[in-house]
Amino acid sequence: MAKKLSSVLGIDIGSRKIKVCEVRMQGKEPAVTALGIGDTPEGAVDSTGIYNSEAVGAALKALIASCGASVNQVVVSIAGQNSVLVRTLEVPKMNPAELKDHMQWEINRNIPFAESTVMSDFKPLGGDDPNSANMDVVMAIAPQSAVDTMLQVIKKAGKTAAAIDVEPLGLARSIQTSYAAELGTKTICMVDMGASTCSINIFSGSKLLMPRQIPIGGDMFTRVIADEMQTSVTEAETIKLTQLTIPENAAELRSAVVNPFDIPGVPTQEFQPYNPFADDPSPAPMQMADAAPVPMDDSPENRLFNAIAPLLDDFIAEVRRSVDYFRSRGGDIDVVVLCGGGTMIPGLTGFMSKSLGIECDAYDPLRRLNVSAKKVAPGFVDEHRQEFAVAIGNGLHILFD
């Protein structure tokens, strides 16, 4: 357990961008004293983890210097579908010694990596029903090599690791700090889409109930646009953020399907119960395979949307499957919140709200935080705030751990 800190640098290393957030205690309240975002060296990081610790460490060091962060202690999260497993478990209530033995057994039987040497940890989530015989615990498992690589990156950047964390717990800290009054009693589905992967985490207030990762990221949308517009990936990224808009009626049209037999009262789609955590989580079967969404007209303003629409359908389907699985276990979702650079497509929140039938909004990790960063250009915070959720959550380590 890391010692209690009064300041820390939260770091989020993605396959496309590196984000840093320096958080200091000012009296009894945390303040953001430095913010920075920079490019990840090309080919150095992907959905499986960090490949080039030298290049990433150098890039991180340059980013820290450019944004004016001076805190030595850092908290960084390990991410990537093949770099870390995060899972919540319901286990019988037991004392700390019993829990340690039991969780070691759980960890040993849940190792999903080819590498046999792993680092692991667990933590009771708290907030359990005092009348319940069970308790909730979150466990994390990562290959030793992934942890060692992350430590090499931090050392190359000239910093010291205070803690290595996992993204869902950082996001939980952010919810508790910035949204306790609004979401503290609600069940939240937080969708955090990066460049190559997307995490779908369900929280009760700030208590993690269900973490999941899917292999859909913002770069997939960018590549579709690049193919459609016959342009470079760099230009396509700009087009995605400045020219792509999801029409207001898109959700209705994408959910409408052609019934080839035009039989009143006959459903055109039927989904079977789905468990995204099964050993073979194959997609739920769809009846009447020749049913297809009604396309938008191919006018110039709809061309980009029509290009990404099939991928957008896949993304919405994965979120829906997570929600449906959670509901099948007796829960329900009050609100969906979006964060991460991949969710910054104009009109996405409205499209998801209509598609899922659930209130949906953009997540602001800087809400209720005093931002006193000096080396921040005008408009920088508003342009990038959704991208800092994990980095800020890691910086908020000083409030909780």
Q: Which of 85-89, 111-115, 129-133, 156-160 has the highest mean pLDDT?
A: 156-160
The model's pLDDT over 197-223, given as tens digits with 9 standing for 90+, comes to 999 999 999 999 999 999 999 999 999
**Band of the pLDDT at 270, cuts 50, 70, 90?**
very low
Question: Which two three-digit tokens encode residue 207?
Answer: 């208590």
Per-residue pLDDT band at 294 (split at 50, 70, 90): low
Give the pLDDT of residue 151.
Answer: 95
The two three-digit tokens of residue 199, written as one number: 């995490």
Two structure tokens written together for 215: 């292999």
CA distances from 264 to 257, 293, 295 (A): 13, 18, 22
CA dihedral 243, 244, 246, 247 (to 10 degrees): 40
Query: What pLDDT, on a 0 to 100 scale, did the predictor assign at position 347?
Result: 92
- For the chain, the domains span 7-86+147-179+367-400, 218-361
Question: Is there a shared CATH topology between the 7-86+147-179+367-400 domain and the 218-361 domain?
Answer: yes
Q: What is the mean pLDDT of the chain?
A: 86
Q: What is the pLDDT of residue 4?
A: 76
Quick one: average pLDDT of 37-60? 91
Strand partners, 213: 199
Beta bridge partners of 51: none
- Answer yes or no: are the C-beta atoms of 400 and 378 closer than 8 Å: no
CATH code that applies to domain 7-86+147-179+367-400 = 3.30.420.40
CA distance 173 to 207: 9
> Would you place residue 401 in the very low, low, confident or very high pLDDT band (cuts 50, 70, 90)?
low
pLDDT in tens, 345-359: 999 999 999 999 999
> Residues 127-153: pLDDT tens digits?
777 888 999 999 999 989 889 999 999
Q: Tell whether pTM > 0.75.
A: yes
Domain 218-361 fold = Nucleotidyltransferase; domain 5 (3.30.420)
pLDDT at 300 over 90: no
